[in-house]
Amino acid sequence: MKISFQEGLIPFEDTAGFYRQVKQWGFDGVEAWGVGLEDRVAEVAAEAKAAGLQVSAICPGLDGIRGSLLSDDAEERARAMGDIKKLLRCGAELGGAGLNIVPEFGAVKFMKLYPELEDFDKRKGRFADELAPAVKEAEKLGTPILLEPLNRYEAFFLITVDQAAELCREFPGGYVKILADFFHMNIEETSTIDSLKRNVKHIGHVHLADSNRKLPGQGQIAFGPALSALKASGYEGFASMECSVSGDPATVIPESVSYLRKFI
C-alpha cells in the first residue's frame, strides 16, 4: 500500500517545491486537485515525475464537476458529464490516475438520525444509466472512475461502501471502483474492517481522515486494525490524506506519515 497527499490541504504557490516537500515528508504520491487541472496537467505530470511521486487520483472538489448526473435538469447533467470526461482525459495524461466522483452532494442536514438508504435503491438504476457514457470514456482512456460514498449529513444517495460495490457490479469491466473514505465509513459502516474486507476487490482508492477530520492519529479512529486488514486482503493501491492540517505542517504531517507507516 502507498500513501499520497491531496493538493489543497495546505496552501502552496510553487508546484515543484511543494511536490519535493511532499516527497520529503515520506509520501509516495500526490492527489491532484481537479479545479483548473486541464490548464496545468502538463506541469503536474512533469513536476510529480521530477519529485519521484505518482499522481494517485484526481479530486474534483466541489467545483471541479459542476452539477450532478442525478439532477432533474438536463443542462446540469450535460455539464456534469462534460466535466467528468474532461477530468478523465486529464487522468489519462497523468498516468491513468482515477477520478473521484461523488454522485450527488446533499443539502446540509441538521441532526439526521438515520441514513436515507432507500434513496439509493430508488435511483441506482437511473444513476447507472447516466454514468454509462463516462464509463465508456474511462475504458477508452484507461482511467478508472472512483465512486465515493459520503455520510448521511453530506449526501442522500450513496452512503455505504456496500452500495458503491453494487454500482461497481453494474460495470464489470473494472473501470468503476470504490473510493473508501475512513471519515465517512466511521459514521456509516457497522464495521469498517468487515466492509473493507468484503469489498476489497472493488476498492480503487482510499481517503484518510480521522474521526474529527484531522490528520490520521489525531482523533479516535483505530487505523491500525483497518489498514492492516486492508493490506492483508490484498489492497496495493493508494491511501491518500484528505483532512485538515492543524499545527506546523513540517511537524504534524511527517508525524502522521510515520504513524501510518507502522500499519502499511
Listing DSSP states for 55-95 in one string gives EEEEE-HHHHS-S-TT-S-HHHHHHHHHHHHHHHHHHHHTT
Q: How far, in whole angstroms, is CA 125 from its chain's centroid? A: 22
Over range 39-47, report the average pLDDT: 98
Domains in the chain, CATH or no CATH each: 2-261 (3.20.20.150)
Q: Supply the pLDDT for residue 263.
A: 95
Is 250 in a helix, a strand, or coil?
helix
Q: How far apart are CA 231 and CA 120, in angstroms?
A: 29
Report the Cα–Cα distance between both ends of the chain, in Å, rounded.
6
The label of the residue with cell 460495470 reads 171
The label of the residue with cell 486494525 reads 225
pLDDT cut 70: percent of the chain above it: 98
HSE on the CB side for 245, CA within 13 Å? 19
Q: In this predicted model, what pLDDT tens digit does every residue of 60-111 receive, in sequence order? A: 998 999 999 999 999 999 999 999 999 999 999 999 999 999 999 987 666 6
The label of the residue with cell 491511501 reads 239
Alpha carbon of 59 to those of 103, 108, 233: distances in Å?
A: 13, 21, 25
pTM of the model as a whole: 0.96
Amino acid at 66: R
Q: In this predicted model, what pLDDT tens digit does every residue of 168-208 receive, in sequence order? A: 999 999 999 999 999 999 999 999 999 999 999 999 999 99
CB-based burial of residue 38 (10 Å sphere; 0-12 exposed, 13-18 middle, 19+ buried)? middle
Cell numbers linked to 110: 441538521
Radius of gyration of the chain (CA): 17
Q: In this predicted model, what pLDDT tens digit does every residue of 214-262 receive, in sequence order? A: 999 999 999 999 999 999 999 999 999 999 999 999 999 999 999 999 9
